[in-house]
C-alpha cells in the first residue's frame, strides 16, 4: 500500500535510529521489562513489557495524576502522549481535542470511557462523537488506560486515533477527603469524598460543587454539580461493582471572536460578539460490572444506562441575518443502554503458550429529540430540523496471541460492527432507515525483550460512524428542496505502526513509534448547519517519543514529543492541507513529592502552528503554556496547595479558525481569523483535609 510506504519511509527511519541508539546503551525509556523491579518510576507508569500490544499503549496511575496542574477536568487526557485538550467556548461545553494530526473536534476519532461507560455521543446535536468529560472528579480517578491506533480488537467506534478508559478508585486512603478551593475570577470549589467498608466490600462517595466566572468581560457564570457513588466487592478472581454518577452544569459562553474585532477595539481579547450564548447540560448514569474465573479463563460483563441532555446556544458568524442575528440552538436529549461481555482464556496452540480473547458489545441510543433551531437572544423563532433518532450497534471481536518463542509473539484479531439507524424527521423527505456493517482485521508482531527492550509492528483497520441523520438525508433542511447527498454510515481507517519500549538505563523509560493512518473518502454531517459537507480522503503519518526519568524517589521528569504530517490524499485546486491539523506537540513535566512534606509539579505544554486553510496561506500561531503548583503537608491529614495557570501570562490562543463572518454594521461577510484566547495568569489556593 503506497500510503503506508510513504509514511514509513519518511518516519520509520528516524524511529529505527532512535531505537538502535537506546537499545545499544545511549538512552532508555518506555515501560520496563519483567526484570525491572529496581525502576522507581513504576509508581507512576505501570509496567507493560510483556503485557502491551504496542508502543502507543500505556497506563498512568493516580500518583502521577495527583501532581499535574489541570485547569479543566478533561485535561486529564493530556496524560496520553501527544494529545492536546483545549476549549473554544464556555467551560461547560465538551473540550476540543487534538491528536496525531487530527482536529478531533469534540471527540470524533478518540473513544473515551469512564469506568467502562462510553462517553462519546453518536448523532449528537453539536458534533459527531461529542465527548464531554466535565462530570469527572479528578481526585477520585485511579488510573487512565490509553491506546493509540487501530490495532486493538476490543476498540471500535471513534477509536481511529486512539482510546482511553478512565477508571475511578475503589477506595480512599482515609475515610474522609474534604477539599476547599478558591481563586481569581470568582472561582470556588468544594469537594467531599468518603470511604467505608460495607457488606465485605468498599463504598466510595464523592460530591463536588464549583463555580467560575473566568476572565471574560461577560462573566461565564459556570456552575457545576457532580457526584459519584461506587460499591465494589470481591478480589481478582471474582467480584462485582455498582456505580452511579451524576452531573449538571450551566454557563454563559464566550465563543471564538474575529481578529478584526479585536484590532479595531470593538471587543477585547476576552470579549464576546453575542452576549447571550451559553448552555446547560446533564448526565446521569448507572452501571454494574461483574467478573469471575470461569474454567481456565476470566469472564467480565458490564451493563450501563445513561440519561443525557444538552441545550447549547452558539453564534459563530454573528450578523449575516441583520434582522435576527445568527444565533442557533442545538438540543440533544437521549437515553443510552448498553453492555459488553468478554472472556479471556489461556490455552496451547501449535504447541505454544497462547491466550484467546473474545467479546460482545451492544449499544442503543434513543435520541428524542435532536434539534437545530434559529434563535435570537436564546428565544426560538424557527426550526431548521428536529428529529427522533434511534441508533443501535452490535459488535463482536476475537483475538489470539501466541508466544512462538521467548523473543517473539504475535497477535491476530478481528472485529465486526453492525449499525442500524432509524430517523423520523420533521421533514418527511429526510426520514428513513439505514443499516451498515464493517469488518476490521488486526495484526501485531512483538519482538523481544532483548536487553530490556521490546519492538512492535502493528497493523489494523478501524472506523468511525457518521451522524445517523446524514444516512437518510435527501434535501437541505434549510430550504427543504435542495438535493443533498447522503453520508457513508461508516468510514474506514487503516493504520500501521513501528515502535519500541525500553528500560535499558536505570530509572529511565522510553517509548517511541513511527505511525501512518489513512481515512477513506467521506461526507460529514455538520451539526451546526443540519446538512452535509464533502471531505476528501486523508493520510497522516508521524513520530512520537516519550521519556520518563526518576533520578531520585521524590522526583519524576517526563517529556512527550510528537510530530505529524497530515494531508488530503485526493488532489484539489484548493490545496492538500487539512485545516487545524497541528504538526508538532511537546509536553515537559516535573513532579516533586518529598518526605519533608513539600510537593508540587510544573508542566510546559506546546502545540505548534497549523494550516487554517487548504492552501496553507493562513496559519495559526504556536501556543505555549506553563502551569505550576506547590504545596505542603502541614501534617498527616492537612495540606495546602497553590496553583498558577499560565505562569508567564502568555497571550496565546486555545484554538484558531479561518472562515467568513459578518459583524454588526458590515455590509457582507468577511474572511478572517477567529480565535479563542487562553486564560491569563490565574492563581488558585486549595486546602485539603484527609482524616
Predicted confidence (pLDDT) per residue in 307-318, tens digit = 999 999 999 999
Predicted confidence (pLDDT) per residue in 217-231, tens digit = 999 999 999 999 999
Measure the CA angle with vertex 157, ends 151 and 163; round to 5°: 55
Q: Quick one: pLDDT at residue 49?
A: 53
Distance, in Å, from the CA atom of 236 to the CA atom of 232, rounded to the nearest integer, reads 12
Q: Quick one: pLDDT at residue 22?
A: 37
pLDDT range class, residue 521, cuts 50, 70, 90: confident
Q: Quick one: pLDDT at residue 523?
A: 65
pLDDT at 506 over 70: yes
User: Of 644, 646, 636, 633, which Cα lies nearest the Cα of 687?
Assistant: 633
Q: Quick one: pLDDT at residue 48?
A: 55
Q: What is the mean pLDDT of residues 260-270?
A: 96
Q: Quick one: pLDDT at residue 7?
A: 47
Counted residue by residue, the chain has a size of 691
Predicted confidence (pLDDT) per residue in 596-633, tens digit = 999 999 999 999 999 999 999 999 999 999 999 999 99
CATH code at 2-174+273-584: 2.40.170
Q: What is the mean pLDDT of residues 581-601?
A: 94
pLDDT at 333 over 50: yes
Residue located via cell numbers 508540587: 600
pLDDT at 4 over 60: no
Q: Quick one: pLDDT at residue 376?
A: 97
Q: Quick one: pLDDT at residue 47?
A: 54
pLDDT range class, residue 334, cuts 50, 70, 90: very high
Q: What is the mean pLDDT of residues 574-580?
A: 94
DSSP tag of 63 = H
Q: Which of 15-24, 96-105, 362-371, 472-481 has the lowest mean pLDDT?
A: 15-24
pLDDT at 81 over 90: yes
Distance, in Å, from the CA atom of 293 to the CA atom of 304, rounded to the nearest integer, reads 22
CA torsion through residues 62, 68, 70, 74, sign: negative
Distance, in Å, from the CA atom of 671 to the CA atom of 319, rounded to the nearest integer, reads 14
pLDDT at 10 over 50: no
Neighbours of 198 (CB within 10 A): 10
Q: Quick one: pLDDT at residue 50?
A: 56
Q: Quick one: pLDDT at residue 64?
A: 83
pLDDT at 409 over 50: yes
pLDDT at 19 over 70: no
pLDDT at 51 over 70: no
Q: Quick one: pLDDT at residue 528?
A: 72
What are the strands, taking DSSP E only, across 262-318?
278-294, 297-314
Q: What is the mean pLDDT of residues 530-539?
A: 80
pLDDT range class, residue 29, cuts 50, 70, 90: very low
Q: Quick one: pLDDT at residue 41?
A: 33
Predicted confidence (pLDDT) per residue in 144-197, tens digit = 999 999 999 999 999 999 999 999 999 999 999 999 999 999 999 999 999 999
Q: Quick one: pLDDT at residue 329?
A: 97
Three-class secondary structure of residue 404 per DSSP: strand
Q: Quick one: pLDDT at residue 35?
A: 33
Q: Quick one: pLDDT at residue 325?
A: 96
Rounded to the nearest integer, the mean pLDDT of the chain is: 91
Measure the CA angle with vertex 481, ends 479 and 487; round to 5°: 95
Cell of 132: 464531554
Cα of first residue to Cα of last residue in the chain, in angstroms, is 60
pLDDT range class, residue 18, cuts 50, 70, 90: very low
Element (H, E) at 612: none
CA torsion through residues 371, 377, 380, 383, sign: negative
Please give the backbone phi and psi of residue 249, each rounded to the nearest 5 degrees, phi first. -145, 150
Buried b (16+ CB within 10 A) or exposed e, 80-90: bbbbbbbbbbb
Q: Quick one: pLDDT at residue 65?
A: 87
Neighbours of 689 (CB within 10 A): 14
User: Of 118, 120, 94, which Cα lies nearest the Cα of 109?
Assistant: 120
Predicted confidence (pLDDT) per residue in 387-403, tens digit = 999 999 999 999 999 99
Q: What is the mean pLDDT of residues 36-47?
A: 38
Q: Which of 45-49, 391-395, 410-414, 685-689 has the lowest mean pLDDT?
A: 45-49
What does the domain layout of the chain look like in residue ranges? 2-174+273-584
pLDDT range class, residue 2, cuts 50, 70, 90: very low
Share of the chain above pLDDT 90, in %: 84
pLDDT at 565 over 80: yes
- Which of the two residues, 88 and 436, has the higher pLDDT score? 436
Amino acid at each position: 500500500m503506497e500510503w503506508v510506504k510513504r509514511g514509513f519511509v519518511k518516519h520509520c527511519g528516524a524511529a529505527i535510529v532512535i531505537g538502535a541508539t537506546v537499545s545499544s546503551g545511549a538512552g532508555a525509556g518506555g515501560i520496563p521489562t519483567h526484570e525491572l523491579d529496581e525502576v522507581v518510576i513504576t509508581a507512576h507508569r505501570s509496567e507493560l513489557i510483556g503485557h502491551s500490544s504496542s508502543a502507543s499503549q500505556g497506563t498512568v496511575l493516580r500518583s502521577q495524576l495527583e501532581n499535574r496542574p489541570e485547569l479543566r477536568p478533561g485535561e486529564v487526557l493530556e496524560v496520553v502522549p501527544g494529545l492536546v485538550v483545549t476549549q473554544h467556548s464556555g467551560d461547560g461545553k465538551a473540550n476540543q481535542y487534538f491528536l496525531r494530526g487530527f482536529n478531533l473536534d469534540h471527540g470524533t476519532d478518540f473513544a473515551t470511557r469512564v469506568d467502562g461507560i462510553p462517553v462519546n455521543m453518536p448523532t449528537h446535536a453539536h458534533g459527531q462523537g461529542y465527548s464531554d468529560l466535565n462530570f469527572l472528579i479528578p481526585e477520585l480517578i485511579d488510573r487512565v488506560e490509553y491506546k493509540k491506533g487501530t490495532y486493538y480488537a476490543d476498540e471500535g467506534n471513534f477509536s481511529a486515533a486512539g482510546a482511553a478508559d478512565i477508571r475511578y478508585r475503589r477506595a480512599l486512603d482515609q475515610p474522609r477527603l474534604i477539599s476547599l478551593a478558591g481563586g481569581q475570577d470568582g472561582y470556588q470549589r468544594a469537594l467531599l469524598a468518603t470511604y467505608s467498608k460495607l457488606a465485605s466490600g468498599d463504598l466510595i462517595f464523592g460530591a463536588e460543587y464549583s463555580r467560575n466566572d473566568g476572565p471574560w468581560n461577560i462573566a461565564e457564570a459556570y456552575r457545576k454539580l457532580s457526584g459519584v457513588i461506587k460499591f465494589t466487592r470481591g478480589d481478582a478472581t471474582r467480584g462485582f461493582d455498582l456505580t452511579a454518577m451524576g452531573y449538571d452544569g450551566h454557563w454563559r459562553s464566550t465563543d471564538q471572536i474575529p481578529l478584526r474585532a479585536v484590532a479595531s477595539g470593538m471587543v477585547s481579547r476576552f470579549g464576546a460578539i453575542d452576549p447571550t450564548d451559553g448552555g446547560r447540560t446533564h448526565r446521569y448514569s448507572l452501571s454494574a460490572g461483574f467478573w469471575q474465573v470461569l474454567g481456565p479463563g476470566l469472564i467480565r460483563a458490564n451493563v450501563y444506562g445513561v440519561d443525557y441532555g444538552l441545550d447549547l446556544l452558539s453564534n459563530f458568524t454573528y450578523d449575516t441575518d441583520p434582522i435576527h442575528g445568527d444565533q442557533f440552538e442545538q438540543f440533544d436529549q437521549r437515553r443510552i443502554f448498553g453492555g459488553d461481555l468478554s472472556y479471556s482464556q489461556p490455552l496451547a496452540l501449535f504447541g505454544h503458550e497462547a491466550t484467546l480473547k473474545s467479546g460482545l458489545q451492544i449499544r442503543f441510543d434513543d435520541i428524542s429529540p435532536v434539534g437545530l433551531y434559529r434563535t435570537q437572544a436564546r428565544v426560538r423563532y424557527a426550526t431548521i430540523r428536529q428529529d427522533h433518532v434511534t441508533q443501535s450497534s452490535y459488535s463482536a471481536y476475537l483475538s489470539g496471541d501466541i508466544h512462538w518463542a521467548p523473543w517473539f509473539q504475535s497477535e491476530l484479531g478481528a472485529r465486526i460492527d453492525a449499525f442500524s439507524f432509524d430517523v423520523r424527521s420533521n421533514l418527511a423527505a429526510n426520514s428513513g432507515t439505514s443499516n451498515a456493517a464493517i469488518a476490521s482485521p488486526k495484526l501485531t508482531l512483538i519482538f523481544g525483550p532483548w536487553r530490556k527492550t521490546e519492538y512492535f509492528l502493528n497493523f489494523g483497520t478501524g472506523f468511525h460512524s457518521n451522524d445517523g441523520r446524514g444516512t437518510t438525508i435527501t434535501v437541505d433542511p434549510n430550504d427543504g428542496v435542495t438535493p443533498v447527498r447522503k453520508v457513508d454510515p461508516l468510514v474506514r481507517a487503516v493504520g500501521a505502526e513501528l515502535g519500541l519500549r525500553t528500560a535499558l538505563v536505570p530509572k529511565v523509560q522510553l517509548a517511541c513509534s513511527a505511525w501512518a493512518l489513512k481515512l477513506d473518502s467521506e461526507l460529514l454531517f455538520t451539526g451546526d448547519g443540519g446538512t452535509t459537507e464533502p471531505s476528501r480522503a486523508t493520510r497522516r503519518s508521524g513520530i512520537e517519543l516519550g521519556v520518563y526519568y526518576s533520578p531520585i524517589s521524590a522526583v519524576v521528569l517526563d517529556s512527550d514529543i510528537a510530530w505529524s504530517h497530515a494531508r488530503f490524499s485526493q488532489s484539489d485546486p484548493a490545496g492538500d492541507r487539512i485545516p487545524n491539523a497541528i504538526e508538532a506537540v511537546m509536553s515537559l513535566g516535573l513532579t516533586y513529592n518529598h518526605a519533608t512534606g513539600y510537593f508540587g509539579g510544573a508542566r510546559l505544554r506546546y502545540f505548534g502552528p497549523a494550516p487554517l486553510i487548504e492552501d496553507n496561506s493562513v496559519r495559526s500561531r504556536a501556543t505555549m503554556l506553563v502551569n505550576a503548583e506547590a504545596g505542603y503537608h502541614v501534617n498527616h491529614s492537612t495540606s495546602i496547595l497553590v496553583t498558577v495557570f499560565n505562569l508567564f501570562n502568555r497571550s496565546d490562543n486555545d484554538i484558531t479558525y479561518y472562515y467568513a463572518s459578518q459583524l454588526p454594521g458590515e455590509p457582507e461577510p468577511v474572511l478572517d481569523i477567529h480565535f479563542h484566547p487562553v486564560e491569563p495568569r490565574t492563581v488558585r489556593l486549595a486546602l485539603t483535609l484527609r482524616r
